[in-house]
Structure 1
Amino acid sequence: MTASSAPAPETLHPSLWRASQLARADVRCVDTGHVALSGQLSGGGWPAGTLIDLLVQQPGIGEIRLLAPALASVAKRSIVMVEPPQAPQAIALASLGLAPSQLIWIRAPRSADALWSVEQVLKSGACGAVLFWQPHIRAESLRRLHLAAQQGETLFFMFRPLSAAQDTSPAPLRLSLRPAQGGIEIGFVKRRGPQRDEPLFLPMSIPTMTPNIPSRPALVPRPVPRPAVTADRAGELVR
């Protein structure tokens, strides 16, 4: 059998692909909103129902602006932020197209409580996206969260420091994020496709702070049904 007559790997099994090309996505993908980035990802977007590992040089370098187009597209269901390094700023998020009424902020005094909360949210399948900040996490905990994400089609982004790039992870997509002049630099630590050593630069504009929303939106607290864990609407921060 010649190479030209050999069957395409993906026709044998969806988990197979040629090393020279991006894999065909076997899950629903959400457009990143950035043409250059989507063109570098299997399925042309962020894979839903799986762990996406974002390795950040430092918080606040534009990672939320990077995700904003995808988050806005799934915001018919709530967007959950678990243990962000700083209190979410509702006005800034609204300027990115994320209505405060759709945002849930979960704070947990212990890592175990935060992990439990994320796992339950993922299993419920009730939210459009989950963003989880965790500098240190065990490999078995990562696997549990990855399995929980696979039970639905929730976008699941986990933010960890760049040093975690050397750790093993079940995430099929792992990107490093570094600040750059006028934008953000994205490194492809792991993807379902050929290795890319050269980082991708994405220009990131600064959004205006005049969102078209009421100054005091009606908000309803949503407590997490577990002791020592509380959930607050991000919009309550701007009263």
Structure 2
Amino acid sequence: MPASALSSISAAAQSVVAALPHALWRADQMGSYQGVVTASGHPSLDRELPNGGWPHSALIELLLQQAGCGEMRLLQPALMGIASQRRIVLLQPPHLPQIAAWDGAGLASGQLLWIKAARSADALWSAEQVLRNGSCGALLLWQSHVRGEALRRLHLAAQASDTLLWLLRPLSAAHESSPSPLRLALRPARNGVEIQLLKRKGPQHEQAFYLPLAATVAPATAPAVPPPSFAVPDHDTLDRHTPAAAGAGNIAPALV
């Protein structure tokens, strides 16, 4: 092929790349997302995430060595910012949400929606409805086993929504293929969590790193507001009742 033709092809390719910066990604460079991201609230983690935060319109997988290893404290800053404006959905959490703990962490419990499903298929269906509805700012879905087809459906539903979607699965799922562009393995560590970036749109990160987690941290997208103080007499008690869960086939009309 003549040199002039090669030069023309090269110039045309460079023109396309310049016009569509998100269409080309080199494996040795940090990638980027076209959509919105929410800062994680942890600067050392944000430096390792494309666009410096949790991507909206994408399936994010958190693979846990064990439930309660620090995943909620990891997500707390982002959730605080979201809860100030939109609702947060907890779908199939392994433990009953403690409203007093959410309030104590600075999260608006009134923005919390808990959905309990009888079957895994019902939970996945509920997740798709939440994403399609778009009225919630974040969805946390706990699942032990998810088939590849279901993962693809979740990812497609997330791409059509601006809701932040975290799928929390056991660490044993790390060897399974997934369409998720961002997968993190979490292991418990003293006063924090150990994070391994299994998959991201960027250079491979071989080594796990330690992330200290404070008991209560400032929100990622909203200014820190001191919690209100309540004068409770010594002889009285404060009783906070846990709201009833919404059934998977009986989701509030606002969500469907």
TM-score (structure 1 length as normaliser): 0.85
**Residues 11 and 177 of structure 1: CA distance in aligned 2, closer, same or farther (over 3 Å):** farther
**Residues 26 and 182 of structure 1: CA distance in aligned 2, closer, same or farther (over 3 Å):** same
- Residues 30-45 of structure 1: pairs in structure 2 closer than 5 A: 30-45=38-53
> Structure 1 residue 204 and structure 2 residue 213: aligned?
yes
Offset of residue 139 of structure 1: 0.5
Counterpart-to-counterpart distance in 2, 1:143 and 1:101: 32
Instruction: Select the residue among 12, 15, 31 that pairs with 1:23.
Output: 31
Q: Secondary structure at the match of 1:25?
A: coil
In the alignment, which residue of structure 1 is the partner of 2:249? 226
Gaps of 5+ in 1: 231-239
Q: Secondary structure at the match of 1:188?
A: strand
Of all paired residues, the percent bearing the same amino acid is 48
> Structure 1 residue 80 and structure 2 residue 89: aligned?
yes
Counterpart-to-counterpart distance in 2, 1:177 and 1:117: 26
Offset of residue 74 of structure 1: 1.3
Gaps of 5+ in 2: 1-6, 218-225, 231-237
In the alignment, which residue of structure 2 is the partner of 1:161? 170
Instruction: Select the residue among 182, 192, 195 that pairs with 2:201.
Output: 192
Offset of residue 87 of structure 1: 0.3
**Residues 160 and 223 of structure 1: CA distance in aligned 2, closer, same or farther (over 3 Å):** closer
Instruction: Select the residue among 106, 115, 138 that pairs with 1:106.
Output: 115
Conserved? CA contact 1:78–1:104, under 8 Å? yes
Conserved? CA contact 2:148–2:178, under 8 Å? yes
In the alignment, which residue of structure 1 is the partner of 2:55? 47
Counterpart-to-counterpart distance in 2, 1:87 and 1:219: 9
Offset of residue 17 of structure 1: 2.1
Counterpart-to-counterpart distance in 1, 2:38 and 2:101: 23
Counterpart-to-counterpart distance in 2, 1:184 and 1:10: 39
In the alignment, which residue of structure 2 is the partner of 1:234? none
> Which sits farther off after the overlay, 87-96 or 62-71?
87-96
Counterpart-to-counterpart distance in 1, 2:241 and 2:187: 36
> Structure 1 residue 145 and structure 2 residue 154: aligned?
yes
Offset of residue 207 of structure 1: 3.6
TM-score (structure 2 length as normaliser): 0.79
Offset of residue 19 of structure 1: 2.2
Conserved? CA contact 2:118–2:248, under 8 Å? no
Q: Secondary structure at the match of 1:128?
A: strand
Counterpart-to-counterpart distance in 2, 1:180 and 1:153: 32
Offset of residue 220 of structure 1: 8.1
Offset of residue 20 of structure 1: 2.1
- Per-residue CA deviation, residues 2-37 of structure 1 (Å, 9 max, x unaligned), is xxx994957545142222221122111000000000
Q: Which has the larger radius of gyration?
A: 2
How many residues are paired up?
A: 225
Offset of residue 73 of structure 1: 1.2
**Residues 88 and 17 of structure 1: CA distance in aligned 2, closer, same or farther (over 3 Å):** same
